[in-house]
Structure 1
Amino acid sequence: MKLLLKLYRSLPRHDSNAACAVTIGNFDGVHRGHRAILQHVVQAAASRQLCPAIVTFGPHPRAFFAQRGQRPELIPTQISSLRDKACSLSEVGIKQMMLMRFNQKLADMSAEDFIQRLLIAGLNTKWLLVGDDFRFGHKRGGDLTLLRQAGLEHGFEVHTLADIVDSHGTRISSSEVRTALAVGNLARARDLLGHTYRLSGHVIHGQKLGRTIGYPTLNLRVPALCAARSGVYVVRVHGLADQPLNGVASLGVRPTVTEAGRLLLEVHLFDCRVDAYGKLIRVEFLEYLRDEEKFPDLPTMIAAIDQDARSARDYFARHGLSQNA
């Protein structure tokens, strides 16, 4: 989870005027389609001695307009945290990430100002990659034609890339990943992402109920609108040992033991005790076991956890991973 990119929250950049190869998007999940785009940016930057960079937004523009229109049901769920997104971008080779706050001011910015302030003054853009249907600026007034005109005037190339599709010809998109995660289809999510679904975070203190019932847990905060279905999962944990550690995890609001309603990921590791508080770990989701439930009492809950642990151990035995190898 080593981060090799610089994150900027405003433009122009306070410590750089490097000329950039740029692409623009939300990049939630950094799936296979995103990676194809990003690899083009990295390759173009390398061949032109430019800095590979992206412009992204927080919150998601759809979330901003949904909140403004009082339509919370239209807010997209979140596949990855900012940390996970930045790590994935860094892995591909992106060196600079511009996280622009999407607010009314940005929504009202004209397409011409978008080009001048963000692309030219902000990033010294010399090469730009966008989709064929890319629209930007106030009321989506800017399009590819305007970008190309600006490129001729200000000296930057504009390129496009066709949608990346899966083996069935379906466009690979963040929406497709969200749909797969919402129903617990981790195999489909893995096909779209190019890797198993994962979340990272620092281990925090919980209520410590788990240790009293024989199931101590590592607790992680996750995005409030996490795209993954609430429930119980077979997982592996990276960052605590030389090899990943096997376990079982519950993602949800713990309805049996609390009414707080805060989404939490609780991970129980098999056959090991580690001091993990404060450490940054990555949890890899391997298989969905069952939905989150509210049990009538603690003994019923413990019996269900016992079965979850057996199911997870069976998974690792079937896949030859039972020794945390």
Structure 2
Amino acid sequence: MELIRGLYNLQPHHRPCAATIGSFDGVHGGHQAVIRTLQQAAAEQGLPATLVTFEPLPREYFRPNEAPPRLTRLREKLRALSDCGVERVLCLRFAAQLAGLPAADFIRQVLVDGLAIKYLLVGDDFRFGKDRAGNFQLLQQAGRQYGFTVAAMGTVDIGGERVSSTRVRTLLANGELAQAAQLLGRPYTLSGRVAHGDKRGRTIGFPTANIKLFRRCAPLTGVYAVEICWDDTGMH
């Protein structure tokens, strides 16, 4: 999978393209449905498919002390996207310049001048631009002006439940790991370095490991029984 960091790293072969935009935190079943739809549309039109995301996430920029915990760090998200068959990701740094960009300028600078977009797939409630002023209707107007197609992706239900990152976080916080895995399409995982603790595991008959999550608030806390895979050789 190709990772493009910033518009300035776009090359001629990246244009034109079909694209979707979002945070994609968790890369859950709803995100996976978006990716499949984008890939199909891109193939039908003979275009490369590009997924546009942000780092940090917009909520983290605007409300750093109130933003919900991430389901996936950037590296974990990119790995999950690659597992879904995503071939190209454009990661935009979400800072003051992008946060203050009016919606019309976002369309022109990112979608038109940057990606030369021909097909755009977004959620029907997608908002963008300064003060979240841009919406699906504005994208449709821009599509007619600049010559690209805009398609809406509705919500996705799994097992009769609407899939969202917020719902997955709630399930994890409540310890409902099986239900969270159903919405994610895979067991929930997190990664971090093992930190030395008080070595109490040696006194209770089984090993323990403290996972240090560097500058990250996890969506779940507690002590869990786990299986460990070492170098992909098997479970131990």
TM-score (norm 1): 0.66
Letter in 1 for 2:120: L
Q: CA deviation at 1:154?
A: 2.0
Give the C-alpha shift of residue 131 in structure 1: 1.1
Q: Which runs of 5+ in 1 are unaligned?
A: 246-325
Q: What letter matches 1:13 in structure 2? A: N
Amino acid at match of 1:232: V
Q: Following TM superposition, by how much is the alpha carbon of 1:205 offset from its aligned partner in structure 2, in angstroms?
A: 6.1
What is the deviation of 1:166?
Answer: 2.7
- Cα pair 2:197 2:210 within 8 Å, conserved: no
Q: 1:144 to 1:211 in 2, by over 3 A?
A: closer
SS at match of 1:30: coil
Whole-Å Cα distance in 2 between the matches of residues 104 and 160 of structure 1?
28
Q: 1:16 to 1:244 in 2, by over 3 A?
A: farther
Partner of 1:35: 32
Name the counterpart of 1:8: 4
Match of 1:259 in 2: none
Aligned to 1:129: 121
- Matches of 1:206 and 1:124, distance apart in 2: 50
1:41 aligned partner, one-letter code: L
For this pair of structures, how many residues does the alignment match? 233
Provide, for residues 261-296 of structure 1, a one-character-per-residue CA deviation record: whole Å limited to 9, x for no partner: xxxxxxxxxxxxxxxxxxxxxxxxxxxxxxxxxxxx
User: Counterpart of 2:103?
Assistant: 111
Q: CA deviation at 1:16?
A: 4.8
Check if 1:83 corresponds to 2:75.
yes
SS in 1 for 2:27: coil
Higher mean C-alpha displacement, 28-37 vs 214-223 = 214-223
- Report the residue type matching 1:17 in the other structure: H
On the 8 A contact 2:55/2:74 being kept in 1, the answer is: no
Task: State the percentage of identical aligned residues.
Answer: 40
Shift in alpha-carbon separation, 1:146–1:167, aligned structure 2, 3 A: same
Secondary structure class of the residue paired with 2:9: coil
**CA distance in 1: counterparts of 2:191 and 2:47, whole angstroms:** 31
Q: Structure 2-normalised TM-score?
A: 0.88
| Structure 1 stretches of at least 4 aligned residues deviating more than 3 Å after TM superposition | 14-17, 203-221
Distance (whole Å) between structure 2 residues aligned to residue 101 and residue 165 of structure 1: 31
Cα distance between partner residues in 2 of 1:125 and 1:142: 17
Read off the aligned partner of 2:32 and give its amino acid letter: R
Counterpart for residue 243 of structure 1: 234
**Shift in CA distance, 85/212, structure 1 to aligned 2, threshold 3 Å:** same
Q: Measure how far apart 1:117 and its partner are.
A: 1.3
Cα separation, partners in 2 of 1:134 and 1:83, compared to 1, 3 Å: same
1:206 to 196, 206, 213: 196
Contact 1:236/1:244 (CA < 8 Å) preserved in 2?
Answer: yes
Q: In structure 2, which of residues 210, 218, 222 is the aligned counterpart of residue 226 of structure 1?
A: 218
Q: CA deviation at 1:212?
A: 5.9
Q: Which has the higher contact order (CA 8 A, sep 6+)?
A: 2
| Distance of aligned partners of 1:97 and 1:239 in 2 relative to their CA distance in 1, 3 Å threshold | farther
**Is residue 59–residue 101 contact of structure 1 (8 Å, CA) maintained in 2?**
yes
Contact 1:13 1:122 in 2 (8 A): no
Q: In the alignment, what sits opposite 2:54?
A: 57
1:181 and 2:172 matched: yes
Measure the CA separation in 1 of the matches of 2:172 and 2:12. 38
Return the offset for 1:173: 0.2
The answer to whether the 8 A contact 2:30-2:163 is kept is yes
